[in-house]
Amino acid sequence: MKSAADEGLRAIAFLGGGTGGHLFPGIALAERARERFPGCRTLFFRTARAVEDKVFLGRDLETRSVSIAAPGGSFRGWVRYALEAQAVRRELEGALQGFDAAFGLGGYASFPGILAARSLGVPVILLEQNLAPGRVNRLLAPFAEAVACPFAETPFRMARRRVVTGNPVRKVVLEAAAARDARAMDPARRRILVVGGSQGAAGVNRAVRAALPELLDFRERIHWIHVAGDADKGGMTEAYRTGGWSAEVYSYTPELPSLMAGSDLLLGRAGGTTLSEIAVLGLPAVLVPYPYHRDQHQRRNAEAFARAGGAEVIEEDQLTAGSLRAVFRDTLFAPARLEAMGRCARSLARPDAADAILDLAVELRRRCPPASASSS
């Protein structure tokens, strides 16, 4: 007779959020867990941010909002955060009873839930999306049974166990990769996708908008697909319309994987989740790292892809009409260059990352199986 520990996973929780980059790896794990372990309950403890409403819209996923906001930089903000985190931890100590594993998705919202899971003896696995670990994951690493990392170079000095798994990618991305393999490039008009993450990137938007009037000689040869965010959608739409460009502009779109699959080149930020997806897709990229992070994790991500040959890197203050013209001439309209970059990007892909992390969770559960599964 099989023991409960041999039956896989029955209930897993996801803690944290705040951006699509934090949530999408958890969604990929939840999708794969339900495929591998029929009947497995997957519950996201999320924040109430509007971007999370967009990410979860239309998905058959169980979520529960917790009342916690980013601390900000002030002393008063940290005091408020500490009080909210204490209340959330007490709440989740009841809600996490009997779960087989808890996955920390990174960000300030994951902190109290991970401490709650730890106090209950629920195995905790932190998902780190970047080459340079985030501050919250660095602080929480000693409290987790394991940290799943995207790169062998990702340092976690205080982690009990560090496993290089890659970032899990959603099933829709894997399906888009198969569609991209069958795609034929349009010889007359290239497709360039501008994306700054789930909320857009104001700096990239400004630079592209300023450059467009000086690039009109490419107008008949490029189709722009631009995910601009809520604040900049109108301005970018008007900029393309005024210049007579072929373009489609979104504030946010759940169809991003299919848009990536149909594009010739990506121009955008260098978050770990985005890079994992372009690797699986084999999509060449020009990466513009966000310049204001203290740990410069996007720059380190971008440099890793550039070293592998899958991307070029342009600093935000160097993203001009001149640098874009060089990208168009030397990369976008250079089929051999695009093909080589795509192969190099795909060499970094880890399409089996979700399975590797779930295998780790099953192993941890077998060491200390819970007495009962969670109930609503």
Q: Where are the domains of the chain?
A: 4-168+351-367, 172-346
Averaging pLDDT over each range in 41-50, 139-148, 307-316, which range is the top one?
307-316
For residues 38-65, average pLDDT: 90
> What percent of the chain is predicted at pLDDT more than 90?
70
Distance CA 101, CA 125 (A): 8
Complete DSSP assignment for 104-116: E--SGGGHHHHHH
Residue 267, pLDDT score:
98
Q: What 3 state SS string does 15-69 have?
A: ECCCCHHHHHHHHHHHHHHHHHCCCCEEEEEECCCHHHHHHHCCCCCEEEECCCC
Q: How far is CA 113 from the centre of its chain?
A: 20
User: pLDDT-derived band of residue 368, with 50, 70 and 90 as boundaries?
Assistant: low
pLDDT at 233 over 70: yes
For the stretch 86-110, pLDDT in tens is: 999 999 998 999 999 999 998 888 9
On average, the pLDDT of the chain sits at: 90
Residue 371, pLDDT score:
46
Look at the alpha carbons of 170, 174, 179, 185 in this order and tell me if their dihedral is positive or negative: positive
**Cβ neighbours around 341 below 10 Å, total:** 24
Residue 6, pLDDT score:
46
pLDDT at 236 over 70: yes
Nearest to 268 by CA among 256, 255, 286, 281: 286
For residues 46-64, average pLDDT: 88
pLDDT at 5 over 50: no
For the stretch 108-152, pLDDT in tens is: 889 999 999 999 999 999 999 998 888 888 888 888 999 999 988
* φ, ψ at 364 (rounded to 5°): -65, -40
Residue 23, pLDDT score:
92
Q: Which residues pair with 162 in a beta bridge?
A: 147
Distance CA 87, CA 67 (A): 9
Which residues have C-beta within 8 Å of that of residue 111, sequence separation ≥ 6?
A: 85, 136, 139, 140
Residue 1, pLDDT score:
33
Please state which CATH number belongs to domain 172-346.
Answer: 3.40.50.2000
Under 8 Å between Cβ of 207 and 322: no
pLDDT at 374 over 80: no
Nearest to 26 by CA among 67, 61, 65, 66: 61
Instruction: Indicate the pTM of the whole model.
Output: 0.89
For residues 303-312, average pLDDT: 96
Amino acid identity for residue 5 in this structure: A
Residue 33, pLDDT score:
97
pLDDT at 156 over 50: yes
For the stretch 173-206, pLDDT in tens is: 999 999 998 888 888 899 999 998 656 689 999 9
Q: Is 4-168+351-367's fold the same as 172-346's? A: yes
Q: Which two tokens stand for residue 160?
A: 């009990």
Which residues have C-beta within 8 Å of that of residue 351, sequence separation ≥ 6?
A: 169, 174, 177, 280
Residue 312, pLDDT score:
98
pLDDT at 370 over 50: yes
Which residues have C-beta within 8 Å of that of residue 7, sequence separation ≥ 6?
A: 37
Residue 376, pLDDT score:
40
Residue 191, pLDDT score:
97
Residue 21, pLDDT score:
81
For the stretch 320-333, pLDDT in tens is: 999 999 999 999 99
Please state which CATH number belongs to domain 4-168+351-367.
Answer: 3.40.50.2000
Nearest to 5 by CA among 373, 375, 367, 311: 367
Higher pLDDT, 290 or 198: 290
